[in-house]
Amino acid sequence: MHQSRSRDVLLWKRVRSILERDIRSGLRQPGERVEPEAVLAARFGVNRHTVRRALISLQEDGLLVTEQGRGSFVSEPMVEYRLGRKTRFGSIVEEQALKPSRILLGITHKPADTSVAAALEIEERAPVVEIESLGLANGRPSGIGIHYFDETRFPGIGESYRETRSVTLALARFGITDYFRRESTVTAVMPTPRDCKLLDQGPSRPLLLVEGTNVDADDVPIEYSVSRMPTSRMRLRVSLERISDHESGALNSISLDGHLM
């Protein structure tokens, strides 16, 4: 009898159910790090393999996420970032019953480089304002957004943003009552150490990089933005509903917007 087992309850399942209870009860909060396997093994008086089996089971059920060399973490709910024509960061987050907020990282005045100039349809090296901010959903980092505006067309928009903390409100001061996302391109990149700190993400998980241009009612570019979203918490959703039939304008969720900001 190498191992006395009480009845039919497998040892790893008992470990699992304790951890699961801690997670579901909120004792272990989303994003929190779980103790190293060796520590858990010692605490429960079982072998590390037994703990591992329990952890793997919890991963399969999506309650834990483990990262090589970093540890296991309690899963956080995924926020879906809907890419549409008129969505705004705030409304996306609010739709999911979360509180949106922002931290202003910096406002820089600089000449437009090639890509910014092309997106805003202005001349290269023309003055632009670069606004960098960190978006939060329920206090958790959801993305770093960098926004570029034509400083000639919107003089002082940096200060407007600093006061309002909102692209929409800052633009309103210049008579822009509405704007739309023309198109977006999506790629993925690895985070810099700074990204990791700001987004509270491990260095081995990629970021979604979304680039896009917002235009006014006359299809003239107003804003070019680049945002980096952590794949640990954010997911992009593109839902294209039927466009031919009934209502075509208004509420049709085909909108693409102002990601991150």
Q: Which stretch binds a copy of itself (CB under 8 A): 91-99, 135-143, 165-173, 174-182?
A: 174-182
Q: Which does 139 bind (CB under 5 to 8 A by kind): DNA, a copy of itself, none?
A: none
CA angle 23, 200, 209 (to 5 degrees): 120
Nearest by Cα to 126 from 134, 135, 117, 115:
117
Q: Which does 38 bind (CB under 5 to 8 A by kind): a copy of itself, DNA, none?
A: DNA
Q: Which tokens sit at 213?
A: 């241009």
104 makes contact with a copy of itself (CB under 8 A): no
Question: DSSP 3-state assignment of 120?
Answer: helix
Residue 201 Cβ vs DNA, minimum distance, rounded to whole Å: 9
Give me the residues that bind DNA (CB under 7 A), please: 1-3, 5, 10-12, 34, 36-38, 45-47, 49-50, 52-53, 55, 66-72, 196, 202-204
Amino acid sitting at position 48: R
Q: Which tokens sit at 208?
A: 């979604």
248 sits in the region (left: phi over 0; alpha: psi -120 to 50; else beta) called alpha
Interface size with a copy of itself, residues (CB under 8 A)? 37
CB-wise, 8 or 245, nearer to DNA?
8
CB-wise, 84 or 158, nearer to a copy of itself?
84
182 makes contact with a copy of itself (CB under 8 A): yes
Side-chain-facing half-sphere of 67: CA atoms under 13 Å: 14
235 makes contact with a copy of itself (CB under 8 A): yes
- Site for a copy of itself, residues 73 to 92, rule: CB under 8 A: 80, 83-85
Determine the Cα–Cα distance for residues 101 and 208; give it in Å rounded to an integer.
20
Question: DSSP 3-state assignment of 168?
Answer: helix
Amino acid sitting at position 129: V
Residue 188 Cβ vs DNA, minimum distance, rounded to whole Å: 14
Q: Which does 184 bind (CB under 5 to 8 A by kind): a copy of itself, DNA, none?
A: a copy of itself
Determine the Cα–Cα distance for residues 40 and 160; give it in Å rounded to an integer.
52
Distances (CA, A) of 117 to 102, 150, 174, 180: 26, 9, 20, 19
Q: Which does 207 bind (CB under 5 to 8 A by kind): a copy of itself, DNA, none?
A: a copy of itself
The residues of the shown chain that bind a copy of itself, judged by CB under 8 A, are 80, 83-85, 180-190, 204-208, 231, 235-240, 242-244, 248-250, 252, 254-256
